[in-house]
Structure 1
Amino acid sequence: MQLTLIKRETSFLMLLLLLAIPAISFAQATGNDSTLQSATLNDVVTYALQHRPSVRQSQLDQEITEKVIKGKLADWYPQINFNYQYQRTIDRPVTAFGDNVITVGLFNTSLAQVEATQTIFNRDVLLASKTASKVRIQAEQSVVSTKIEVVVSVTKAFYGLLATAQQIKVNEESIVRLKQSLKDAYSRYQTGVADKTDYKRATILLHNSEASLKTTQERLVYEQQYLKALIGYPADKTFTLQYDTAQMESEINIDTLQQLNYAQHIDYKIMFTQRELQKANVRYSQWAFLPSASAFGAYNLNYLNDNLGELYNTSYPNSFVGAKLTLPIFQGGKRVAKIKEQKLTLRRVDVGLENLQNTLDATYTKALTDYKSNLKTYVVQKENVVLAQEVYDVINLQYRNGVRTYLDVTVAETDLRTARINYFNALNLVLTSKMDVLRALGQINY
């Protein structure tokens, strides 16, 4: 009997999935194809990582960060500019030489200049070069964190959709049995073997099961759309889930004796990188006492003429090079206050790391407790399915032989349907709680 039940569970799942989501044929996915050819859990997760808007946004943020870094580091290179200027003097200035007042300058002047500056040292470019690698790590960690959340949410939604689809199958099989029971009860009533209460009970139970089936089917429609939204799938497209109970059961167990390693968790990695960047901010504030130095040079072409048409006939070139050193002496205590501010911010990040460790401990403990509890429930419910099937088969046979009342059959039928639904719900919960444990351990990496 148990072997028959196991075979039935593994075989009917593929049938119920065909009923759960309408199947359509797709061309093989290539390039920018936005549809799924198959829909195993791995396929759905892979699709989500490629099409989920939040993942693409985080990847774009990473690319933006890279461009910002390149822009900051570009300040180390020579900065070359071309300047052009034309000026028309309306009233020329005058100057006095002794008793003589002389008008100076010309009506038309123009300047063409090529200038270059080279940073030798300043704290801005030094900060950019020191923190570039850590900023890249931070951007990468943000992408990883987004992907982890997507994987967890999509996996949970996938299992939830399967559980709902399985409930539909259970209700459909229950309705088949109830219709046969109603037919038998009505026949017994017509032959005078039983009164009309038996077939009326059968009718009530059948109506309740049909109502339950309708409710579950409507919930399935929502869960289908919810999964599509999670993975970034077109709302007007459909796909067929592919899975089996045996594979789900094989993925249940995890090592519950593992110890939490903070450094392995993505949230801890992100905050630790923030701490490293904040330490760089402290050093940056301390560098405010250092001088800045740069070199500069320019080549100028000057044009002077009262006649605009002849302005550019003759040029008067000049050029120069030089160096500049700026040494900050006094800023009213601003630099000292800034250093203290950044050090306090660093202490705040340290406190945040301590709080995060406590949070991770609590999260892992809860996730592990839920997993153990759900695993026990799953084992019990799996045994209950076998027992409920045996009880129903015996009572139904006894009823047909006139030994049992139909009330016993209805109770056995309800117990069987409830046991099978509870079993699939328990399977969904244990797999979902397993994802929470792996997330808490920091063992989901993409």
Structure 2
Amino acid sequence: MTAPAGMANAQSIDDALAQTYSDNPTINAARAQLRSVNERVPQALSGWRPQIFGRFDVGSQYNNSDPGRARYSNTASAGLSVTQNIFRGFQTVNSVRQAEAIVRSERESLRATEQTILQQAATAYMDVIQNTAIVSLRRSSLEFLSEQVRAAEDRFEVGEGTRTDVSQARARFSEAQSDLNLALANVNTSRAVYRQLVGTDPKTLSARTRVYARLPKGLDAALSAGASDHPSIQSAQHLVDAAVFAVKTTEGELLPTVSLEGNLQRQWSPPSASGVDTLDSASIFGRVSIPIYQGGAVSSRVRQAKEDLGQTRIQLDVARDQVRASIVSAWGQYQAAVASIQAAQDAVSANQLALEGVIEEQRVGQRTTLDVLNAQFELVNSRVNLVTAQRNRTVAAYALLAATGALTADRLGLAVAAYDKTAHYKKVRNSWFGLSTPDGR
């Protein structure tokens, strides 16, 4: 399942994974989602910052205090109000902590998405190699069977064979043609999936990989690594933290709030007998609001937040169980694939010798055409099984790394710049204003 040694331009599986890491649209969409979630933190921090509003009013008044002496007057006013929260029942503190926990959870979700896509890309890579190899085997078998049909017909013409031999050879040839057609369809499917994940069509691929050296030494080591580092578990843990702060934020609505409010205003009116046509005013107030009863809505939201907290804790347990099950399954599949390779290699060697022996025995009349066809059938199947086992070993290895949370660009040593999950966050966290994103959009 490896490319010839002379193919210096072969694309390795690491090259394909590096390209997937950089260009895959699903990964890029997850990164955009993280950047969106980052904005929750400055939104929460806005609770510490003043709110400033300007206003401008224009109006007309009609007065008719004395019959027959109606009067119209136009007025205008402009004002500026500033409100600064001093104390909000710890809502701002807890909402900021909640937003930060959600950001950390989203970072882990991004890491989980990256690993899922990288695993799918590795599987697609090996599927292309496997199905291409199977096509080659099917074509070789078809050529062999074509020769058997010709030989059976020649023997029948000279009276050394029977019509049954010819029919059996032709039947096996037709079956081989059908198997080749199916193999070609599988190649096209695997190439399409490869292009979807990697972004380019597969060309010359090589099954050589360094993944086996990065596998855990045993099942216990794999379980320990997954429990401590799997992104699904880390994401669920951060969501528990966020839910805790959500309860505290909602409870803060039951506490008093303190704020300062300042106002500036100028009003213009038609000149009067006193000659005054403008009026300036300024005010500043300290406000204390003490919630006494809000109709039970806040109490309900507190209870709801506590139920949400309980749900996230259950989901954390679910994530741990799922990761453990995935690791055990991947480990078993890997061990089974390793054992299958040796068994398939032995079967190929045995069936190759058997076919050669049957052909020689057929030449001296001790074997029939059907015996040769059966021996060829067994040899092709064993070769297909070997190709499949080799593919399954590599796929299971990448699945095991993903199950333990180690299928990352850094751990794989991919030649690609790692995406900085904190760069955008650092740029927007303390942003007080501005409509443009950090990349200029």
Please tell me the residue identity of whatever aligns with 1:425.
Answer: T
Aligned to 1:30: none
1:69 pairs with 2:7: no
Please tell me the residue identity of whatever aligns with 1:109.
Answer: T
In structure 2, distance between residues paired with 1:114 and 1:442: 54
In structure 1, distance between residues paired with 2:238 and 2:71: 61
Indicate which of 174, 183, 193 corresponds to 1:226.
Answer: 193
Call closer, same or farther: CA 1:188–1:156 in 2, change over 3 Å. same
Instruction: Note the alpha carbon deviations across 1:5-43, whole angstroms, 9 max, x for none.
Output: xxxx6567999xxxxxxxxxxxxxxxxxxxxx9743233
Call closer, same or farther: CA 1:303–1:247 in 2, change over 3 Å. closer
Give the SS at the match of 1:107: strand
Indicate which of 48, 52, 72 corresponds to 1:80.
Answer: 52
In structure 1, distance between residues paired with 2:86 and 2:50: 10
Task: Report if the CA contact (8 A) 1:106-1:304 is conserved.
Answer: no
Aligned to 1:18: none
1:169 pairs with 2:136: yes
In structure 1, distance between residues paired with 2:139 and 2:215: 30
Aligned to 1:97: none
Aligned to 1:417: 380
- Superposition deviation, residue 429 in structure 1: 2.2
Give the SS at the match of 2:284: strand
420-429 or 172-181, which moves further after superposition? 172-181
Indicate which of 57, 63, 68 corresponds to 1:92.
Answer: 63
Instruction: Note the alpha carbon deviations across 1:207-250, whole angstroms, 9 max, x for none.
Output: 2212211121122222222332334x3xxx74414114x55996
Aligned to 1:40: 12
Please tell me the residue identity of whatever aligns with 1:288.
Answer: E
Call closer, same or farther: CA 1:325–1:174 in 2, change over 3 Å. same
1:277 pairs with 2:242: yes
Please tell me the residue identity of whatever aligns with 2:84.
Answer: Q
Aligned to 1:107: 73
Which residues of structure 2 form unaligned runs of 5+?
410-441
Instruction: Note the alpha carbon deviations across 1:335-374, whole angstroms, 9 max, x for none.
Output: 4444333333322322332333333333332332333233
174-183 or 186-195, which moves further after superposition? 186-195
Aligned to 1:59: 31
Indicate which of 260, 264, 269 corresponds to 1:295.
Answer: 260
Please tell me the residue identity of whatever aligns with 1:82.
Answer: G
Within 5 Å, give how 1:22-421 maps onto structure 2. 39-89=11-61, 91-92=62-63, 107-122=73-88, 123-231=90-198, 233=199, 238-244=201-207, 247=209, 255-257=217-219, 258-261=221-224, 262-305=227-270, 314-421=277-384
Please tell me the residue identity of whatever aligns with 1:215.
Answer: L
Aligned to 1:5: none
Task: Report if the CA contact (8 A) 2:99-2:242 is conserved.
Answer: no
Q: RMSD value over aligned CA atoms?
A: 3.3
1:436 pairs with 2:407: no
Call closer, same or farther: CA 1:420–1:251 in 2, change over 3 Å. farther
Call closer, same or farther: CA 1:429–1:252 in 2, change over 3 Å. farther
- Superposition deviation, residue 150 in structure 1: 1.0
Task: Report if the CA contact (8 A) 1:38-1:239 is conserved.
Answer: no
Which residues of structure 1 form unaligned runs of 5+?
1-8, 16-36, 95-99
Aligned to 1:32: none
Call closer, same or farther: CA 1:252–1:347 in 2, change over 3 Å. closer
- Superposition deviation, residue 251 in structure 1: 7.2
- How many positions carry a matched residue from both structures? 401
- Superposition deviation, residue 193 in structure 1: 4.4
Q: TM-score, normalised by structure 1?
A: 0.79
- Superposition deviation, residue 171 in structure 1: 0.8
- Superposition deviation, residue 413 in structure 1: 0.8
Give the SS at the match of 2:37: helix
Aligned to 2:439: none
- Superposition deviation, residue 177 in structure 1: 2.4
Please tell me the residue identity of whatever aligns with 2:246.
Answer: N
Task: Report if the CA contact (8 A) 2:251-2:302 is conserved.
Answer: yes
Call closer, same or farther: CA 1:119–1:282 in 2, change over 3 Å. same
Task: Report if the CA contact (8 A) 1:109-1:303 is conserved.
Answer: yes
Give the SS at the match of 1:305: coil
Aligned to 2:429: none
Please tell me the residue identity of whatever aligns with 2:238.
Answer: T
In structure 1, distance between residues paired with 2:147 and 2:60: 105
Please tell me the residue identity of whatever aligns with 2:253.
Answer: A
In structure 2, distance between residues paired with 1:207 and 1:14: 35
207-216 or 114-123, which moves further after superposition? 114-123
Please tell me the residue identity of whatever aligns with 1:325.
Answer: V
In structure 2, distance between residues paired with 1:283 and 1:439: 36
In structure 2, distance between residues paired with 1:226 and 1:56: 18
In structure 2, distance between residues paired with 1:155 and 1:329: 61
In structure 1, distance between residues paired with 2:302 and 2:335: 50
Aligned to 1:427: 390
Instruction: Note the alpha carbon deviations across 1:166-221, whole angstroms, 9 max, x for none.
Output: 11011112223233334444444445544454444333322221221112112222
